[in-house]
Amino acid sequence: MRYYDFEVRISYSDTDRMDVIYYANYLVFFERGRTEFLRSLGMRYRDLEEKEGIYLPAMEASVRYLRPGRYDDLIRVRTFISELGGAHIGFRYEIALAETGRLIAAGATRHPTVNRDWKPTRMPAKLHKLLVAHLEK
């Protein structure tokens, strides 16, 4: 699997006064995308934290807003693993209207692997092996 998709309908609370998706909510959709991507591979964020002692804080995030998404739109969030190092992972995202496939936003995030003390640490070998098989080429 080179990407993970999920769909969500935009609720009233996802929008701003101009009836479009509030700009910061795209980052929330990105987070849900990467969380569900990892879950689909059998690796929950919770397990990384509680069992492995590994955390993936965001160190970079970017969003390009291409056209507005609006209340009651059904959107598709597509998540890719775009970069994988020994102690970091990068994700790329595309958000499109589910019914037309028209892209409304795109972005990326980058996450170091850190331990409970927020010290950079190498990614566990089994996690790296799992993720490298799904790296975007």
Flag whether 64 is in a domain: yes
Asked, for residue 89, whether it belongs to a domain, the answer is yes
Residue 137: inside a domain, yes or no?
A: no
18 part of a folded domain? yes
Of the pLDDT bands very low, low, confident and very high (cuts 50, 70, 90), residue 18 is very high
Number of domains in the chain: 1
* 109 has a pLDDT exceeding 80: yes
Q: Tokens 């970079």 correspond to what residue?
A: 60
In the sheet with 103-112, reading across from the earlier edge strand, the strands are 4-9, 74-84, 88-97, 103-112, 60-65
- Residue 43 is part of a domain; what is its CATH number? 3.10.129.10
16 tagged catalytic: yes
Strand partners of residue 135: 81
Domain assignment present for 101: yes
pLDDT, tens only, 49-97: 999 999 999 999 999 999 999 999 999 999 999 999 999 999 999 999 9
Residue 1 has pLDDT above 80, yes or no: no
- Domain ranges, residue 66: 4-132
Contacts of 52 (CB under 8 A, 6+ apart): 124, 127
- Those residues whose C-beta lies under 8 Å from the C-beta of residue 83, and which sit 6 or more positions away, are 89, 90, 110, 135
Q: Which of 16, 47, 73, 117 is catalytic?
A: 16
